Structure 1
Amino acid sequence: MPRERTLIVMQGGDAGQNPDYANFNLYVTGSQNGWHAGPLQTMNEPLIMFNVLTGEYENWLAESWEYNDDFTEILLKLRQGIEWSDGTPFTAEDVAFTFNLLRDHQDELINTAEISFLEEAIAEDELTVRFVLNKANPRWWATTLTSNHGVAEQILPKHIWEGQDITTFSFYDPQKGWPIATGPFKLVSTSPEQKIFDRRDDWWAAKTGFKQLPQVERVIYIPIRDESQSAQMLITGEIDMSKILSVPTIQSAIAQNPKIITFSGQNPPYGYLDWCPIDLNFNCDVEPWNNPTLRWAVNYALDREKLVSLAEAGAGVTALHQFTPYDWFKPFEEALQPLYQKYGLDTKAHPDKVEQLMTELGYQKNADGFWAKDGQVLDMTIYVPDWLKAYGPPLTQQLNDAGFKAQFDPSPGLGTQVQTGEQALGFGCKGPAGVKGMDPYFMLSIYTSQYYRPTGQPAPIWWATSRWRNEEYDQIVAQMDTLQPEDPKTLELFVQAMDIWFREMPDVFVAQLIIRYPMSTEYWTGWPTQEDPYGFPHSWQQEFLKTILRLKPAK
């Protein structure tokens, strides 16, 4: 395949290796294939595609859908002519089978969104699915049927998956042509070093006129390298899209190759505001982090202004909570102002309050200046992933300055342990904080007890890792389930819930996430930009398929 017709993306894996290259089960715990490594963006298609940047959605496998009057049912019609890549018709039986299977195994899987609201999915005819909910939920279409949180519920081919164990089945057998999917590409090769997907000229959407065939004929996903190697591969044209890079590295890459751009062109902030605010995650179910006073002491140790300025090279945005400041959030942000005053929450460090709270908890500083209790130093080993590593040094320095013996560990395996709670402290992000039905319900709900799992069990959704429980909070958020986003009661309940959330401080949010994927126009043009935000240029999210479909050869 000519290089001029090949799109090469760096995403997934670690240190140049794909650990699960032969697993194409998008729901099995521990697998990256449901998120990062290519199948989601090339082979799979959602029922409804969502543009996170604009709030617009596009019916994709679904042709239409509608709620009943009390938001307890959704009737969804599929497009005609959809086929699996093995030629088998795609029908409502596949959809109903998938959702009922996820419902039955939700506690054992990842990426199941709000499947707990599903009573039953019924295939009424070949193209019609009725979703019956166990309670009214006007947001369920957004949380569970669309791609607006990065990964929609992926429909499984019933003729292959029926009778398989969804918790272990790898869905990989080259002799049988597995995996199959409905999207415009098929898997032709997979190894620890790369995954290769070639265009399917018999893609249903091209045959029916829904979409045109992509001009990209081959997509290669390679696992991430370190920052300097990633940048060098982009500069020399070995890849078309890098992993997320830091501001100084992007500036250097642009200086060396003027064909490199970002979502904001060649100017700051070199990316876009994502829906996943950056936080210091605590396992609130284990000692000593089950104490909210200790979590508040850690909060007071951090000067967010300085932290973000150092980590983001002056191009960052601070955060005090789990929401992204999109336009729709303005009235909610205004409603939080009295709570900031009530709890003394701002972006500055308050060492005097750290001293006060730690002393109240019975800690004293030892000869090295670190907090200790009963002869035991309070140790803070924090997992900081590679893509946030610029935060590691200033974060731990600020904590050390406040008396916390802190160090960061970028070991990739710790990311999985954050999901199980066995790694008590982790630096990362939580979302989607801006687009689920355009109200704050989802980011409130991930802190409810429905997503709690004991330490040692993986979180049911990627963001629900705090393992914090509060019955009063649960009851308040539950009242929002049936409300329309524009209902005035939504704002009132939001403030009540956040009052408890701030009081307990289950997470310490420090910054908004600005996604900085540098892209090369050496071989491909038509990347999404802030002038033309037709899609979310995020190579681990399903909406990246829209980018692949729009790219045009530069040569």
Structure 2
Amino acid sequence: MGVNVLKGGAFEPWLASAQKLSSDGRTLTVDVDKKATWSDGKPVTAKDVVFTFQLVKKTPALNSSGVSFQSVAAQGEKTVVFHFDKPAFTQVASILQQYIVPEKYWTGKNPVTFTNPDPVASGPYTLKRFDPQQISLALRGDYWRSRIQVKQIRLPVVNSATEISQLTSGQEDVSGGAIPNLEKQYVDKDPAKNGYFYPTYGALILVFNHDKGALKDVHVRKAVELAIDRKQLIQLVTQLGADPISQTGLDAATQGKWLDPAYKEAVQTDLAGAKSQLQQAGYTLSGGKAVKDGKQLTLNYIEVADFADSVQRARIIADQLGKIGVKVNVQPLASGTYTDTREKGDFDLAAYGLAYGAVPWQIYNPLLNSEFAGTPNGGKAQTNNYLRWRDKSTDGLLNQLANTGDEQTQIELTRKLEKIIVDQVPYVTLSNITAGCAWSSRNWTGFPSKNNPYDICAPWNGGPAFENVLAHLKPVK
């Protein structure tokens, strides 16, 4: 099923047509759509779903959401039943968003290393071309779900400059890239046909490695939090529609009902306050340096070298922290090296994106649950807790959230978690993350917009959201 962030995290039918959780939260029944078929023409069955979840359960690298269940079994051809040893109210969204693979083609394969060269899937398209220059998809003639009129999708690899020219010339119809000065460079050239839609999708945070000495001190973390100028970051590193948001990581526009009004506003830059926090941590400011035991406070900030805007952001943050005497070494790394370095904990600072789901527990649990923190000092982190945040109060609240299906209780518990995030600063929230697209109505109409915000249109987002967009598109006659 899809989760529509723009509709408060509402579930929308997709491969599953219905789902029901028992009143005690220990049994989840999911019905696979009776019409669903794989692209080889075979039906999608309950056995495929069971196979997929058993694969996820025994392969930690695939279980990024931390899904846990006692058993999963097929009940007939199209019904799947999950049993849990404790209430699973907050797990439902993660389970319903799991992509399903066909048992026939994945049996006996290593799911971590298998490249799936001839993919068979349940979606509306099949793969026709895959190379470093372009991905091409062709519409299935037998697609079982929605009527889609877009017969072919071409996904070329382009840079920002090429992207703009291809959009304006009609070679491209939609782009999910970060185009600088989008309104001036693109929309204003033909306002009748050129448009965009970039709603909030999640939050951009700066994570601390809590296994590192200096960052174990909350005063050091608060100093970093207060020294960062979020507005400057947004002005200098282009991200359309970005704004500073609550330190909790929740954006009031889409996550308002969960957000404590006391934490609604973003943290304001306060250099004097930041320096005071460093002093409380035992540092003295000498010659423009924050010094303790004769050494300047120095932090290593890792980033993916290929992400030019992210590296630029890291350098700006380094300059901002320099104003309170903290030295930041920015380390651009190759993608694979970056991932390995982050997992091993060989860093102090790193940026990270949170994608909202049906409930805040979906982002907080993998991010902050000590179960996913790995072993201290160099142990490989599991899933998303690269922070190595280990806190009994946090774990307790996450556990309580997982055991209640009452929304008001969930709100109260979530707000207690927010207080920990605000008071203890396990990470620093920089801004919201917007996800969407720039589009041209030269060839197709029906893209989402501010006046018709039915879903997120970022092509890279894929899944139910972009299929929903494709189903709305109509050719210009």
Kindly indicate whether the alpha-carbon contact (under 8 Å) linking 2:199 and 2:434 is maintained by their aligned counterparts in 1. Answer: yes
Q: Describe the SS at the equivalent of 2:397.
A: helix
Give the Cα separation in 1 of the matches to 2:239 and 2:355: 23
Do structure 1's residue 371 and structure 2's residue 297 form an aligned pair?
no
Give the Cα separation in 2 of the matches to 1:253 and 1:473: 46
Kindly indicate whether the alpha-carbon contact (under 8 Å) linking 1:396 and 1:408 is maintained by their aligned counterparts in 2. Answer: yes
- Residues 251 and 457 (structure 1), Cα distance of their counterparts in 2 relative to 1, 3 Å cut: farther
Pick from 513, 520, 523 the counterpart of residue 443 of structure 2. 523
In the other structure, the counterpart of 1:326 is: 253
Kindly indicate whether the alpha-carbon contact (under 8 Å) linking 1:297 and 1:358 is maintained by their aligned counterparts in 2. Answer: yes
Do structure 1's residue 187 and structure 2's residue 141 form an aligned pair?
no
CA deviation map 1:265-293 (0-9, x unaligned): xxxxxx2122x112112222234333322
Give the Cα separation in 2 of the matches to 1:240 and 1:366: 56
Range moving further from structure 2, 356-365 or 68-77: 356-365
Q: Describe the SS at the equivalent of 1:426.
A: strand
- Residues 64 and 375 (structure 1), Cα distance of their counterparts in 2 relative to 1, 3 Å cut: closer
Pick from 188, 200, 211 the counterpart of residue 255 of structure 1. 188
Give the Cα separation in 2 of the matches to 1:516 and 1:59: 21
In the other structure, the counterpart of 2:95 is: 144
What amino acid maps onto 1:354 in structure 2? A
Pick from 290, 299, 307 the counterpart of residue 216 of structure 2. 290
Once the two structures are superposed, the pairs formed by residues 464-479 of structure 1 within 5 Å of their partners are 464-479=385-400
Kindly indicate whether the alpha-carbon contact (under 8 Å) linking 2:321 and 2:327 is maintained by their aligned counterparts in 1. Answer: yes
Give the Cα separation in 1 of the matches to 2:30 and 2:257: 33
CA displacement at 1:442 relative to structure 2: 2.7
Q: Describe the SS at the equivalent of 1:115.
A: coil
CA deviation map 1:475-498 (0-9, x unaligned): 1221121212523x3343334333
Give the Cα separation in 1 of the matches to 2:369 and 2:115: 31
CA displacement at 1:126 relative to structure 2: 0.8
Give the Cα separation in 1 of the matches to 2:427 and 2:199: 23
In the other structure, the counterpart of 2:67 is: 115
Kindly indicate whether the alpha-carbon contact (under 8 Å) linking 1:231 and 1:242 is maintained by their aligned counterparts in 2. Answer: no
Q: Describe the SS at the equivalent of 1:465.
A: coil
Kindly indicate whether the alpha-carbon contact (under 8 Å) linking 2:73 and 2:80 is maintained by their aligned counterparts in 1. Answer: yes
Once the two structures are superposed, the pairs formed by residues 186-265 of structure 1 within 5 Å of their partners are 186-203=126-143, 205=144, 210-212=145-147, 214-223=148-157, 225=159, 227-246=160-179, 248-258=181-191, 259-263=193-197
CA displacement at 1:411 relative to structure 2: 5.0
Do structure 1's residue 430 and structure 2's residue 357 form an aligned pair?
no
What amino acid maps onto 2:77 in structure 1? E
What amino acid maps onto 1:141 in structure 2? V
What amino acid maps onto 1:128 in structure 2? T
In the other structure, the counterpart of 2:104 is: 159
In the other structure, the counterpart of 1:381 is: 301
Range moving further from structure 2, 136-145 or 373-382: 373-382
CA displacement at 1:307 relative to structure 2: 4.0
CA displacement at 1:354 relative to structure 2: 2.3
CA deviation map 1:36-90 (0-9, x unaligned): xxxxxxxxxxxx1222212333222222221222111111222223221122221
Give the Cα separation in 2 of the matches to 1:255 and 1:70: 55
Give the Cα separation in 2 of the matches to 1:188 and 1:243: 21
Kindly indicate whether the alpha-carbon contact (under 8 Å) linking 1:453 and 1:467 is maintained by their aligned counterparts in 2. Answer: yes
Give the Cα separation in 2 of the matches to 1:300 and 1:415: 27
What amino acid maps onto 2:151 in structure 1? E
CA displacement at 1:295 relative to structure 2: 1.2
CA displacement at 1:310 relative to structure 2: 5.0
Could you tell me which runs of 5 or more consecutive residues in structure 2 were left unpaired when the two chains were aligned: none
CA displacement at 1:191 relative to structure 2: 0.9
State TM-score, norm by structure 1.
Answer: 0.76
- Residues 533 and 217 (structure 1), Cα distance of their counterparts in 2 relative to 1, 3 Å cut: same
Could you tell me which runs of 5 or more consecutive residues in structure 1 were left unpaired when the two chains were aligned: 1-47, 146-151, 173-177, 264-270, 341-345
Kindly indicate whether the alpha-carbon contact (under 8 Å) linking 1:527 and 1:551 is maintained by their aligned counterparts in 2. Answer: yes
Do structure 1's residue 131 and structure 2's residue 79 form an aligned pair?
no
Kindly indicate whether the alpha-carbon contact (under 8 Å) linking 2:206 and 2:429 is maintained by their aligned counterparts in 1. Answer: yes
Give the Cα separation in 2 of the matches to 1:356 and 1:508: 18
Once the two structures are superposed, the pairs formed by residues 265-284 of structure 1 within 5 Å of their partners are 271-274=198-201, 276-284=202-210
CA deviation map 1:217-255 (0-9, x unaligned): 111223352x33333332333322223325524422223
In the other structure, the counterpart of 1:416 is: 339
Do structure 1's residue 96 and structure 2's residue 50 form an aligned pair?
yes
Give the Cα separation in 2 of the matches to 1:502 and 1:182: 42
What amino acid maps onto 2:215 in structure 1? W
User: Identity percentage over the alignment?
Assistant: 24
In the other structure, the counterpart of 1:351 is: 271
What amino acid maps onto 2:200 in structure 1? L
Pick from 80, 99, 118 the counterpart of residue 34 of structure 2. 80
State TM-score, norm by structure 2.
Answer: 0.87
* Greater strand proportion: 2
In the other structure, the counterpart of 2:420 is: 500
Do structure 1's residue 49 and structure 2's residue 30 form an aligned pair?
no
Runs of 4+ in structure 1 deviating by more than 6 angstroms, as ranges, are: none
CA deviation map 1:324-356 (0-9, x unaligned): 21366246322547xx9xxxxx63222223222
CA displacement at 1:305 relative to structure 2: 4.2
Kindly indicate whether the alpha-carbon contact (under 8 Å) linking 2:36 and 2:44 is maintained by their aligned counterparts in 1. Answer: yes
The count of residues paired between Structure 1 and Structure 2 equals: 464
- Residues 248 and 397 (structure 1), Cα distance of their counterparts in 2 relative to 1, 3 Å cut: farther
Pick from 215, 229, 249 the counterpart of residue 303 of structure 1. 229
Q: Describe the SS at the equivalent of 2:206.
A: strand
Do structure 1's residue 482 and structure 2's residue 403 form an aligned pair?
yes
Give the Cα separation in 1 of the matches to 2:469 and 2:373: 35
CA displacement at 1:121 relative to structure 2: 1.0
Q: Describe the SS at the equivalent of 1:548.
A: helix
CA displacement at 1:447 relative to structure 2: 0.8
Q: Describe the SS at the equivalent of 2:20.
A: strand
CA displacement at 1:530 relative to structure 2: 2.4
CA deviation map 1:109-147 (0-9, x unaligned): 25x42422x1111011111110112211223222220xx
Give the Cα separation in 1 of the matches to 2:457 and 2:436: 10
Range moving further from structure 2, 358-367 or 348-357: 358-367
- Residues 550 and 492 (structure 1), Cα distance of their counterparts in 2 relative to 1, 3 Å cut: closer
